[in-house]
C-alpha cells in the first residue's frame, strides 16, 4: 500500500501530465509512465498508467467529441485488434530496458520529412497501419504517442480534429492495455486501483485545463511545439534505457 504522500504526488503528476496531453494530445502519458516505472513493476506501471489515461483521454474525447472522425477511428481500431491478437499469440511480456529504449527512439518519427514518409490517417490503409503499429507499441511498451502522431500531424485535419480523434483512439488502446496486462502475475492490486480512483478527477481537471490552452494555440504552433516536447521526453527515456542496458 502506498503512503498518503505518494498518492498526493501521483495526483499532482496526473494533473500536470493530463494538462500536457490536453494541449498536445500526447506527451503527458510519456511523463506519467516514467514516474510510475520508478515506483512499481513494469507491467503494473503500464496497466496503472493505462487506467489513468483512459480517464484523461476519455474526458478529452468527450470535451471535443464533435470533432472526432469516426471513420478513421473505426479503421484504426481494426489495426489495434490485429496487433493485440499477435501479441497474445507471442505471449509477450515487457522489461524495463526494452520499454525505455523503444520509447526513447519514437521521437525520431516526428522529425522525418513529409516527403520521406507521407503517412495520412485519413487514408484507410494508413489508418489500419496506425492502429496496428501504434496500438501494438502501446500494448508492448505502454505508450505510442509519437508513433500515432506521425499519422496525424501531416493530415489535412486541424488541431481540434487531430486531438479529438487521437483521444478516442487512445481510450480504446489504453483499455486494451489494462485487459492485456490484467492477467499477468504483477496485475494491479488494491492499492493500485485506489491510486487510479484518486487520480481520476485530477486527470479530468488537467485535461479540461489543457483543452482551454489548446484553443489559444495556432495550428503551426501546435505542430512545432509537439515535436520539441516529445523529443525532450524521448531523450530522457533513451538515456535511461541505455544506462539500464549497460548496467549503470
Using the CB atoms, write b or e for 35-55: b if 16+ within 10 Å.
ebbeebbbbbbbbbbbbbbbb
Return the pLDDT at 76.
94
Domain extent at residue 52: 4-246
Q: Cell 520508478 belongs to which residue?
A: 38
Task: Please check the confidence at residue 182 and state whether its pLDDT lies above 70.
Answer: no
User: Quick check: 163 and 60 in contact, CB under 8 A?
Assistant: yes
Q: 219 in helix, strand or coil?
A: helix
Task: Please check the confidence at residue 187 and state whether its pLDDT lies above 60.
Answer: no
pLDDT higher at 169 or 159: 169
What are 30-83's pLDDT values in tens digits? 888 888 888 888 888 888 888 888 887 788 788 888 889 999 999 999 999 999
Distance CA 166, CA 64 (A): 11
Q: What does the mean pLDDT of the chain come to?
A: 83
> 61: buried, middle or exposed (CB in 10 Å: 19+, 13-18, 0-12)?
buried
Q: How many domains does the chain have?
A: 1
Task: Please check the confidence at residue 184 and state whether its pLDDT lies above 60.
Answer: no
pTM of the predicted model, to two decimals? 0.75
Task: Please check the confidence at residue 185 and state whether its pLDDT lies above 50.
Answer: no
Amino acid at each position: 500500500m502506498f503512503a498518503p504522500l505518494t498518492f498526493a504526488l501521483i495526483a499532482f503528476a496526473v494533473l500536470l501530465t493530463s494538462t500536457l496531453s490536453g494541449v498536445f494530445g500526447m506527451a503527458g502519458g510519456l511523463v506519467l509512465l516514467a514516474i510510475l516505472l520508478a515506483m512499481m513493476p513494469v507491467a503494473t506501471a503500464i496497466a496503472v498508467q493505462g487506467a489513468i489515461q483512459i480517464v484523461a483521454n476519455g474526458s478529452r474525447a468527450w470535451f471535443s467529441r464533435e470533432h472526432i472522425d469516426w471513420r478513421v477511428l473505426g479503421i484504426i481500431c481494426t489495426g489495434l485488434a490485429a496487433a493485440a491478437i499477435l501479441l497474445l499469440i507471442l505471449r509477450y511480456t515487457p522489461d524495463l530496458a526494452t520499454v525505455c529504449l523503444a520509447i526513447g527512439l519514437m521521437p525520431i518519427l516526428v522529425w522525418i520529412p513529409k516527403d520521406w514518409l507521407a503517412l495520412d490517417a485519413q487514408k484507410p490503409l494508413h489508418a489500419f497501419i496506425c492502429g496496428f503499429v501504434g496500438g501494438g507499441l502501446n500494448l508492448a511498451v505502454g505508450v505510442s504517442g509519437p508513433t500515432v502522431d506521425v499519422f496525424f500531424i501531416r493530415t489535412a485535419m486541424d488541431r481540434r480534429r487531430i486531438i479529438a480523434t487521437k483521444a478516442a483512439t487512445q481510450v480504446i488502446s489504453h483499455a486494451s492495455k489494462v485487459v492485456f496486462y490484467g492477467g499477468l502475475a504483477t496485475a494491479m492490486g488494491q492499492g493500485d486501483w485506489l491510486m487510479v480512483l484518486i487520480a481520476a478527477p485530477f486527470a479530468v481537471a488537467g485535461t479540461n485545463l489543457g483543452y482551454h490552452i489548446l484553443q489559444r494555440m495556432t495550428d503551426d504552433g501546435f505542430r512545432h511545439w509537439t515535436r520539441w516536447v516529445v523529443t525532450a521526453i524521448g531523450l530522457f527515456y533513451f538515456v535511461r534505457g541505455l544506462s539500464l542496458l549497460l548496467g549503470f
